[in-house]
Structure 1
Amino acid sequence: MIDRGLPDAETIETVLASHEGAWDAGARVLSVQDLSPGLGQAAVLRVSTTAPDGRPSQWIVKIPGWGHQSLLDSRDNQLDRREAHFFGSNIPGLLPRGLATPPDATVVSHNGLTWIVMRDIGTALHQRWTPAAATTTALRTALLYVPGTLHPDLLDTPWLEREGYTAYTHHIPAGHDNLDALAHDPQLKALFTSEQVHALHTCLDAAAKLSSRATELPATLVHGDLTPRNAGLDRYSALVLIDWEHVGVGPVGFDLGTFVSLYRAFGGHGELDELALLEVYGRALSDLADTDLRHPAAQGFATAHLTWGLHLRLGPGLTAVRQGFHSETPEELASHLDDIRSGCLRALSWASAAGVDTAGH
């Protein structure tokens, strides 16, 4: 993967001028701000433009596969192309009222790279996440079941991600190694008790079993990376979602599980009642499906915690801590350790729901 310098205002202006889109012909680029996420592999830029008549507008320009590497080390060979496929397809238009994507998303090509240009929806994304907002999110997330119900062939779309809960299974060996190393690290040895370490090893070893069971659950269209950083509620309480690189087909409950798993880590305020949120989601989902899906939703929710959540925390999460990536300040380190501990313990609380026996020896 090639590291490139970010495109400047002149380059972006040239790209906009050479393609048709909702931006005004002859728009001038006034400023470019780098928003590229620390763990992403795309360049993400906020671009301020002005039309020839002086009207200003704000855009997000995203260039997948720009060249950034991270500890997440994705093995998904579709990752750099899937979001462009999504915005170039009819799927955004099939999302029911209550779900939304950034307006005027347009896919263009420039110098062999794909660019996605869309309206800036920062106002919705920068809201304060509260338990009440999380409850609304649970209701809205159930709506992702609708497109696959009305258009069953949609779930056979070849570029959709399959089994996203296995996306980070290649970090399982590192997770085992990191757990084994805790006892010898004065800074980390109190992170988990010996019983909890054993239970976490067991959950890591259960990945194949969890994957097999998840494939038997009712399937739904999933965002695949639904976290507070990738979601917001607009003024009409619609759930607005960005970063569709992992859009795919997965078990019901999975998206809610990823949202809850990283709620506090990604800026959520207050403690979530996971059982209550799952009940809200499960009832809404069952109403949409006209059959009781609360039990499979709980299994899919638990799977998200025990795969996606654990693999990220015990693999690259603990590796980053052990390698000193979060030791700039004691507060920063404490925050990451708290997320690893609390996230893993919350995952363990769902082990039995996913059929994993953490007490066996």
Structure 2
Amino acid sequence: MQRPELSVPAAGTAVRTGGCLCGALRFTVAGEPVDPHVCGCAHCARRSGSPFQWWTAFPLAGLSWTGEHGEPAWYDTHPGRARRGFCSRCGSHVAALDHGDPAEVGILVTALDDHRGAPALVPLNPNRLNEAAPWLAPAQARHQVPVDVHLLLRRDGPAGPEVLLSRRAGAVYATGLLHAPSGHVDGPHEDAVQALIRETGEETGIAVDPADIVHAVTVHHRSPGGPARIGLVFEVRRWHGEPAIMEPELCDAMDWYPLADLPAGMVAYCRAALDAYRDGHRFAVHFQQPDDTVAFDPAADRLRTLPSTGTDGPCPAVREFAERAVGRIASWTDVSWARPGSRVWRATGAGGGQWYVKVHRGARFHAREVEAYRSWVPGLGAAAPRLVAADADLPAIVVTALPGTSLHGAVHTSERQCEIFRRIGTLAAAIHQPAVGPDDTLPVALAKLERHLAAARTRLAPGDADFVRALVARAELLPRPETVRTHGDLQLRNLLLDRSGELYVIDFERAQVGPAVRDLVRLADLWAGRPDLRKALADGYGRPFTAAELEYLTVLEALDAVSGIQYGATVDDPELLERGLRTLTRLRATAEAANPRGDTA
């Protein structure tokens, strides 16, 4: 396969001839027409004495003036920007050319010797017809644009993923520049996937199965010359045959290039699509300005990406990490929690298997979860996922999928709820094995208390802040509970229940050594007013919690409530806010019932 070195255009095969009315001006144009349209602007109407003119563009490299007058006479219709060419003998208008270094020349279609029955010359876009002839405006068709298909052929190279690029040659648009193999949807008889398969075979000689074609990115592009188009870019990682130059008159070189280090001399349109793809975006706008070059210029990068929703996967670096771990992934489903933080996707493999890919919000959460998976989580057996792969630089992990659905929002009978809480107790006991290590649960929360109270001030009821401070003051006198391994975020959304009643636990990014009651903070809100649930959990746990442990739990609940109120108010999370307010109200009511005189001693 030949890597491009020099730009040597080859002769084009699609050649058309034309000229003026008297024959003094003659020309040939080679290449395919670009953006055929009718224009009713004031310049076109006044020059022609007609409501509109029928234009198309051709590659300037394919234009030759062959008549006795040579080039036409030129008139600057837009001084400094564009000029129109006409015959100085008969006055026929034939061409339009932008100033500077244009890649295309405009040709009046009616100046061609034969323009009948040519689908490629049918005007796609009516332009400003109402300016010269208002009565034409009602008949104006909807704006239409060509649809391009681009092949993003990808392989693994020694330094990372590589993509195939070819150098355009001959009388074509952007001759001498690198571009992905591409073409147009031929008409209503052909869909985009069929067009990609056809163009891929015509340009590279390889065969692609429709099942191996994945949508990568869509680009709404406008060239410096003005025409707009839609580019559909499709990723292909598996094919039959070896890529080769199949159209030497249109392509004179072809090679693989690192996706992370794309070469100079690329078509800006193609470069925009690859940059968007590399950064994990599915949709991009790339509207170039009249003074821009067709070649990519970093100083005039017009790429503008938009976020996507739905089943978009993670960025390419995380996708590659996951696929190195489990193989080709056919689809991604974002299952992240709506709150800011870690991102999680359900990844479905080409063979139907499922995994979960998680990108942590920071190195601390990543380290905690990986350490838990590598040390004590395997002891939970089938009740927890298995770590498949971890990358601290991303930072991301891949874990196995579990059966069941989240208990968050699930509806069960009272009897069934008691059984579920009994199972939660059993699972918590399995997690809470003795562990030696620093317990910073209370010190960390206390260090943030005054800041959280200040941030939550407008949401707190009178006396709430003093109540929490009094609890904390008593907590510092309590004996420290035994330290165990804790999940750190044991709540219903991190618990799964399958149809047979088996319980599973996920999400260990907050796991650390601490008191056992640390894992009861989010569960205690659920058994408020339901002593049967509290008893069921204790039964499953194997023992009741001591009075000292429950007093310590009350302190942790209060601190968590204040934290939730300030955070919920900051990020506009109504559930966190309401749970915090509800918890403080409950704790104060319980304290007042136990001490109706309000003694502080």
Q: TM-score range by the shorter chain?
A: 0.5 to 0.7
CA distance in 1, matches of 2:332, 2:486: 32
Cα deviations across residues 100-139 of structure 1 (Å, max 9, x unaligned)?
A: 112x4313337x3343212334742266054555533432
CA contact (8 A) 2:439 2:483 kept: no
User: CA, structure 1 residues 244+336, in 2 after alignment: closer, same or farther (shift >3 Å)?
Assistant: closer
Match of 2:499 among 235, 245, 254: 235
User: CA, structure 1 residues 129+252, in 2 after alignment: closer, same or farther (shift >3 Å)?
Assistant: farther
User: 2:333 matched to which residue of 1?
Assistant: 33
CA distance in 1, matches of 2:498, 2:442: 28
User: 1:223 matched to which residue of 2?
Assistant: 487
CA distance in 1, matches of 2:497, 2:553: 23
Asked if residue 139 in structure 1 is aligned to residue 428 in structure 2, the reply is no
CA contact (8 A) 1:95 1:146 kept: yes
Structure 1 residue 255: Cα displacement:
1.8
User: CA, structure 1 residues 259+29, in 2 after alignment: closer, same or farther (shift >3 Å)?
Assistant: same
Structure 1 residue 84: Cα displacement:
0.7
Structure 1 residue 348: Cα displacement:
3.0
The one-letter code matched in structure 1 to 2:345 is: L
Q: How does 1:11-30 map to 2 (within 5 A)?
A: 11-19=317-325, 23=326, 27-30=327-330
CA contact (8 A) 2:333 2:345 kept: yes
Secondary structure of 1:221's counterpart equals strand
Secondary structure of 1:213's counterpart equals coil
User: 2:346 matched to which residue of 1?
Assistant: 46
User: 2:478 matched to which residue of 1?
Assistant: 213
Asked if residue 82 in structure 1 is aligned to residue 368 in structure 2, the reply is yes
Q: TM-score, normalised by structure 1?
A: 0.64
CA distance in 2, matches of 1:353, 1:166: 29
User: 2:361 matched to which residue of 1?
Assistant: 65
Match of 2:544 among 294, 298, 317: 294
Match of 1:170 among 447, 463, 475: 447
Equivalent pairs, count: 288
The one-letter code matched in structure 1 to 2:366 is: D
CA contact (8 A) 1:220 1:252 kept: yes
CA distance in 1, matches of 2:452, 2:348: 42
User: 2:553 matched to which residue of 1?
Assistant: 304
Secondary structure of 1:15's counterpart equals helix
Q: TM-score, normalised by structure 2?
A: 0.41
CA contact (8 A) 1:258 1:305 kept: no
User: CA, structure 1 residues 350+280, in 2 after alignment: closer, same or farther (shift >3 Å)?
Assistant: farther
Secondary structure of 1:240's counterpart equals strand
The one-letter code matched in structure 1 to 2:468 is: L
Cα deviations across residues 27-56 of structure 1 (Å, max 9, x unaligned)?
A: 3222223333355543322222212xxxx1
Q: How does 1:261-272 map to 2 (within 5 A)?
A: 261=525, 263=526, 272=528
User: CA, structure 1 residues 336+299, in 2 after alignment: closer, same or farther (shift >3 Å)?
Assistant: same
Q: How does 1:111-126 map to 2 (within 5 A)?
A: 112-121=393-402, 123-125=404-406
CA distance in 1, matches of 2:576, 2:559: 15
User: CA, structure 1 residues 352+210, in 2 after alignment: closer, same or farther (shift >3 Å)?
Assistant: farther
Structure 1 residue 61: Cα displacement:
0.2
Structure 1 residue 359: Cα displacement:
4.2
User: CA, structure 1 residues 122+310, in 2 after alignment: closer, same or farther (shift >3 Å)?
Assistant: farther
CA distance in 2, matches of 1:353, 1:82: 40
CA distance in 1, matches of 2:447, 2:498: 37
The one-letter code matched in structure 2 to 1:303 is: Y
CA contact (8 A) 2:478 2:552 kept: no
Cα deviations across residues 243-279 of structure 1 (Å, max 9, x unaligned)?
A: 1122233334432332233x4xxxxxxx753433332
CA distance in 1, matches of 2:357, 2:335: 10
The one-letter code matched in structure 2 to 1:85 is: E
Match of 1:100 among 377, 383, 389: 383
Structure 1 segments of 4 or more deviating over 6 A? Answer: 352-355
User: CA, structure 1 residues 283+126, in 2 after alignment: closer, same or farther (shift >3 Å)?
Assistant: closer
CA distance in 2, matches of 1:294, 1:354: 20
The one-letter code matched in structure 1 to 2:505 is: L
CA distance in 1, matches of 2:367, 2:483: 23
Cα deviations across residues 81-102 of structure 1 (Å, max 9, x unaligned)?
A: 011111122x223227xx7112
Identity %: 17
Secondary structure of 1:95's counterpart equals helix
The one-letter code matched in structure 1 to 2:380 is: L
User: 2:256 matched to which residue of 1?
Assistant: none
CA distance in 1, matches of 2:468, 2:364: 30
CA distance in 1, matches of 2:586, 2:465: 14
Structure 1 residue 225: Cα displacement:
0.8
Asked if residue 339 in structure 1 is aligned to residue 588 in structure 2, the reply is no
User: CA, structure 1 residues 147+255, in 2 after alignment: closer, same or farther (shift >3 Å)?
Assistant: closer
Structure 1 residue 239: Cα displacement:
2.5
Match of 1:245 among 488, 509, 514: 509
CA contact (8 A) 1:252 1:301 kept: no
Q: How does 1:187-206 map to 2 (within 5 A)?
A: 188=459, 192=461, 194-196=462-464, 198-203=466-471, 205-206=472-473
The one-letter code matched in structure 2 to 1:35 is: V
CA distance in 1, matches of 2:593, 2:383: 31
The one-letter code matched in structure 2 to 1:28 is: R
Asked if residue 273 in structure 1 is aligned to residue 554 in structure 2, the reply is no
The one-letter code matched in structure 2 to 1:258 is: R
User: CA, structure 1 residues 344+29, in 2 after alignment: closer, same or farther (shift >3 Å)?
Assistant: same
User: CA, structure 1 residues 132+359, in 2 after alignment: closer, same or farther (shift >3 Å)?
Assistant: farther
Could you say which structure has the higher helix fraction? 1
User: CA, structure 1 residues 253+113, in 2 after alignment: closer, same or farther (shift >3 Å)?
Assistant: same
Match of 2:561 among 295, 309, 313: 313
Q: Structure 1: give runs of 5+ residues left out of the alignment.
A: 67-76, 183-187, 264-270, 288-292, 327-331
